[in-house]
Structure 1
Amino acid sequence: MKMISKIAKASLGLVFLGSSSVFAQSLADAKKAIDAEQYQKAESMLKTLTTTQPTKDENFFYLGWVYIKQDYSDSAKVVFNKGIAANPKSALNYAGLGAVARLDKDNAGATTNFNQAISLAAKDTKPYTYVGLSYLLPTTTDKKVAPADADAAIAVLTKGKAINAKDVDLLIALGDAYRSVLKSNEAYSNYSDASTLDPKNPAAKVATGVLYKFANNFDGSEQQFKDALAINANYGPAYREWAETDLRWSLTDPKMASAKIKEAVDHYKQYLSLTDQSVESQMRYADFLILAGDYKTLQQVATDLSKSASTNARVYRYLAYAAYENKDYSNGLTAINTWFQKADPKRIIPRDYLYQGRLQMATGQDSVGINTLKKALELDSTQTDVYGEIAKALYHQKKYEQAGDAYRQVTLKAGRNVKLTDYFYEGISYYFGYDEKKPNADSLLVRADSAFSYVNQKSPTTADGYLYRAYVNDMKEKDRNNINGYAKPFYEKYIELVTAKGAADDKTKKSLANAYAYLGTYYEYKEKDEAKATENFTKARENDPTNKQAVAFFQRKGGAGKSK
């Protein structure tokens, strides 16, 4: 019996040992799938593990992290709480709850959970790694990490590094944190240390390639991706980052644009073939297509995704963006409205309001569209091009003063994107918005004059800039019989530029007539120079026989100076 008992115990021990080995291997495989961005595969494996090993809190954490990576933070929160139920001292799952709080913009909740994670971590550096990665999760439209968040990530990851300087995942995360605040030397040092410790880790090579990409060292970047694929030919993230590098290269070097955009698409397709072709992978492809400006392909991809019963509601965002860019405005408006109806409010981004406003205006809902664009600006004031869209719409609605204010915002805030025409339309808008009965009438003329003055300085041969500046200064003349000549130098410059070009068209002739008529009035009443007054009124009448000032002058003079 004792011998049988010993054999039984030995056999039982082997069963448990085998079970533990299967679990460890399965969890390791799931983590490899996450690293390879095969989220559907990882999700399936981890769901099984949370059922077969319900006391293992790590299973729940990594399943929650998969949900985080797929933009399902509500599902992640549920799973992290299950992990804590399985182990109330699960540092990883508290790190996960902190990540969810950050995405929900609950900074206090994030801090509380992160602190709890670190207090429970002891000598385990994985919680430090995931608290750091949580700070690096993008929460803004441009997907950039705020400097304060990057600093927080660096601080916690540095503490983790002091505990274990050989944690490769932590070193890569620390490199990412430094890269996000443009500390390239520090980033490279951590990536290099990770590669030295684990030469077979493709993630460290890819991270270095991304670092080179932002330095526009595209050849060096490509080599890193090739090195990563030499380690693991099926490592999808290398192809994804290579595609995004190709895209940046195409934007930086126009000569390479065509070839690199083609390469980018090919590399991204290779990435997709190495993932699980999940809806989430297709969504990431859609994000890439937006960056690439390939809205025709985006519309096809989004249309295909919308036919799936299990699709993410975000597909309606892509349908709307693509439809607008492809001038399919009616379907675009339907899609964006569906997105607003289906989406969790916290998943709405400023760009969604931007496209909704554009689509509203494109379908004749100008006033509603303008208000929606203003909402987009309230949420993201960096979208300075929107001021121009609002200004243009207001101008077409003949709301000139408001249009002038909007163009003024363009010229003040758009930086390098400001065009000279923005200043020109700012001036015209204020000019047309002038009404002497308004209490702010004089200030509108001042703003208009300032805008046209800028046009004169930057483009001294643009005749219309002087013409409209003359019109503005002409408005300052309160009494024709007591003229000051505010507009004189600008009309003279306009005449000089136009006549130098040769024969004028009918529209320009009318403007020339106005200019000569003003000068005629100036010489008649200010200078009391009858000869010069007659000369200028004659030229006014030659350019436009119906010019009222010229007609009135010659009537007063009894037809003197009548042209032949």
Structure 2
Amino acid sequence: MKIVSQTSVLTLGAVAMTTIASAQKLTDAQKAIQAEQYQKAKTMLKSMTAADPGKDENYFYLGWVYLLQDYPDSAKAVFTKGITANNKSALNYVGLGQIARSENNNSAAMQNFDQAATYAGKSDQPYIYTAKAYLMKPSPNVDMALSTLEKAAKWGAKDAEYYITLGDAYHAKLDNTKAYGSYSTAQNLDPKSPEIDVAIGSLWKQANNFEGAIEELNKAIALDPNYGPAYRELAETSLRWAQSDPKVASEKVKQGAAFYKKYLDLTDRSPESQMRYADFLIESGDYKTLEQVANELAKSDKSNLRIYRYLGYAAYENKNYPAGLEAINKFITEAAPKRIIARDYLYLGRLQFKNNQDSLGILNLTKAAEMDSTMADAYAEIGTMLYGQKKYAAAGDAYEKYIAKSHHGKLNDYFRVGMSYYYGYSDQYFDYLNKKTTVPPDSSLLAKGDSAFSYVQQKTASRPVADVFLYRARLNDLKENDRSNMKAYAKPFYEQFVALKGNTNPTDERTKKNLGEAYAYLGTYNELIAKDDSKAEEDFQKALAASPDNREAKAYFARKENKTAKK
């Protein structure tokens, strides 16, 4: 019989207690990460790595927090320490793999992920976190995440975290049926996890089932009233609801802001949490509050360049253009290129235009639209800028790009295309006619302009718009090559304009002048082409009645008077 001394028993007990305490501390840190209490988690994990520098797992979770907070350099340093502590640390190789992905070094990423798999043994954690890495923005790869989770499944390791991650992957793939099935399985395995209710709530939010989303999120709060992510998701659900239903927009935006403030209170108001709040304020359009939040952040950490992004956006929306340009320039020139997003160039371009740097503004607005197809509205802004500068043909091109790229062009946008090309050709025509240039006008502008006006005319056939006929008439009149041998391209459009406005007894000067123009054209046609003097005189009389200063009508009656005097 083997005798164990009392001293040995005490020693073994102390080791066991230390191991249990260490495991509990790690569990607490993991819960803090899940609750997005990143500052708390970092404090705990830094203490744990200092107390037990040989424990590689602690380094991984500390590095993972840095990744979640978008500090890849700090994360890389910590993962490297984890591998120094244990050169077969599967999780820390996963961390280095994600760092390589963030640097667009896919071969290094695969090498590190493969190394992690080699050391994973029968643990599913390295595979789960590799899948989580593949789901990280800005370049998620859902198929690789699902493939990695299949490898974990081969070991038979299917805990709640596995199914949550599987649900996240299907959610990212917009396969809500499979996502819900995975989350439900996770819920059966861990019914007290608020994380799962939040995930299901996010699923319903994406499907615009707002009541269902709120019901799930309230379940999470019932499980843990201090679970911050539930309030963040409630805020974002309220915002999406506001954006989809104008009737409740004001109410829902206010609710969302209140939920986000609660989230901040529960996540230790770290700079990262406040920056996430700043992102929410951008989406909700609350730029006054955004400016306040950004200024508060700047007081505590001026080295954080992302703050200058927020200051730039807010200053533009609050019409403080010089300060906005200074802030956004600082961000774009000093931040790493991979940190710059399309929206940054959008605001840079807007601010440059407001600060009389028009050419640079157009370049950066174009860059934003080319980087991100959802920024196609930038082409409409470019069109407006160019039109204001009387660069009409270029404005027409920009409006056409907006319609083609955005896929939600309205009739007013088509009308702007027509107007831009009409004025673009008109300027070229008269410059050539007056010998200001030797370059003939570009007739393709007429074709493109008339096509745009024709589209509007077709779509408004049941409720015709007079200005469409007026501008189609003017544009078609420019097609005349020989004024002495008119083809009368404009005639049917002037007639339609007169039919719409001729019997309305207009009181505004613009309509009167336009009627005078239309009647004078028809009078000229009847005088010179139809040779119908009585009809011509009638038209010119109507022109003068509508617009007494109409030059063509006055000239006609002057000619008529001269002929009478000579007889």
Q: TM-score, normalised by structure 2?
A: 0.92
Deviations 1:390-422 (A, max 9, x none): 010011111111111001111222222x22221
Deviation at 1:242, TM superposition (A): 1.4
- Deviation sequence 1:34-61 (CA, Å, 0-9, x none): 0010001111111222222222221111
Sort the Cα spacing of 1:36 and 1:504 in 2 relative to 1 into closer, same or farther, 3 A.
same
Picking from 158, 183, 186, the partner of 2:178 is 186
CA distance in 1, matches of 2:503, 2:188: 72
- Tell me what 1:113 maps to: 112
1:369 to 349, 356, 361: 361
| Aligned counterpart for 2:267 among listed residues 268, 272, 275 | 275
1:84 touches 1:90 (CA, 8 Å); kept in 2? yes
What residue is the counterpart of 2:506 in the other structure? 503
Q: Report the Cα offset of residue 478 of structure 1.
A: 0.9
Residues of 2 paired with 1:262 and 1:137: CA distance? 30
Match of 1:520? 523
Partners of 1:166 and 1:197 within 8 A in 2: no
1:157-214 deviation line (CA, Å, top 9, x unaligned): 2332342353211110110111122211111111011110111111111111111222
Give percent identity, aligned residues only.
53
Contact 1:313-1:342 within 8 A present in 2 as well: yes
Aligned mate of 1:493, from 492, 496, 507:
496
Q: Which amino acid aligns with 2:116?
A: A
Instruction: Give per-residue Cα distances to partners, 1:10-37, cap 9 Å, x unaligned.
Output: 4433333333222212211111110010
- CA–CA separation in structure 1 for the residues paired with 2:400 and 2:273: 42
Bigger shift: residues 552-561 or 472-481: 552-561
1:433 equivalent to 2:401? Answer no
Alignment correspondent of 2:450: 449
How many angstroms does 1:439 deviate by?
Answer: 5.6
Question: Do 1:279 and 1:312's aligned partners in 2 also have CA atoms closer than 8 Å?
Answer: no
Deviates more, 1:319-328 or 1:49-58: 49-58
Alignment partner of 2:142 out of 150, 165, 168: 150
The CA distance in 1 between the partners of 2:562 and 2:511, in whole Å, is: 26
Q: Contact conserved, 1:279 with 1:311, CA < 8 A, in 2?
A: no
Where in structure 2 are there 5+ consecutive unaligned residues?
A: 433-438
Superposed, 1:131-530 pairs within 5 Å as 131-139=130-138, 145=140, 149-309=141-301, 312-416=304-408, 418-434=409-425, 435-436=428-429, 437=432, 438=439, 441-460=442-461, 461-530=464-533
CA contact (8 A) 2:502 2:515 kept: no
Corresponding residue number in structure 2 for 1:543: 546
Is structure 2 residue 73 aligned with structure 1 residue 89? no
Deviations along 1:358-413, whole A, 9 cap, x unmatched?
Answer: 11112222222111111212222331110010010011111111111001111222
C-alpha separation in 2, matches of 1:108 and 1:470: 62
- What amino acid does structure 2 have at the position aligned with 1:203? E
The alpha carbon displacement at 1:427 in A equals 1.0
Structure 1 contact 480–521 (Cα < 8 Å) conserved: no
Structure 1 residues 468-498: Cα deviation after superposition (integer angstroms, max 9, x where no partner): 1111100001111111111111111111112
- Return the letter of the residue paired with 1:446: A
CA contact (8 A) 1:161 1:167 kept: no
Residue 108 of structure 1 and its aligned partner are, at CA, apart by 3.3
Q: Report if aligned partners of 2:243, 2:249 keep a CA contact under 8 Å in 1.
A: yes
Aligned-pair CA distance for 1:314:
0.9
* Matching residue of 2:79: 80
d(CA) in 2 for partners of 1:87 and 1:439?
Answer: 76
Shift of 1:120: 2.9
SS at match of 1:216: coil
Aligned length: 552
TM-score normalised over the length of structure 1: 0.93
After TM superposition, the structure 1 stretch with the greater mean CA deviation from structure 2, 512-521 or 38-47, is 512-521
Matched, 1:49 2:83: no
- What CA distance in whole angstroms lies between the structure 2 residues aligned with 1:107 and 1:446? 49
The one-character-per-residue Cα deviations of 1:293-349 (angstroms, maximum 9, x if unpaired) are: 211111111111110036632111111111211222222122112212332221111
Q: Would the aligned equivalents of 2:373 and 2:405 in 1 still touch at CA under 8 Å?
A: no
Whether 1:25 and 2:24 are equivalent positions in the alignment is yes
Q: CA 1:428–1:253 in 2, change beyond 3 Å: closer, same or farther?
A: closer
Structure 2 Cα separation of the partners of residues 210 and 439 of structure 1: 60
Unaligned runs of 5+ in 1: none
Measured after TM superposition, the shift of residue 355 of structure 1 is: 0.7
Partners in 1 of 2:347 and 2:84 — Cα distance? 43
Q: Residue deviations 1:507-549, cap 9 Å, x none?
A: 2222222212221222223222222222222322333344333
Instruction: Give the letter aligned to residue 531 of structure 1.
Output: S
Alignment check: 8 A CA contact 2:123 2:157 kept: no
Instruction: Indicate the larger mover: 178-187 or 253-262.
Output: 253-262
Q: In structure 1, what is the Cα distance between the partners aligned to 2:128 and 2:98?
A: 12
Change in 2 beyond 3 A, CA 1:305/1:45: same
What secondary structure, in the 3-state scheme, does the structure 1 residue paired with 2:374 have? coil
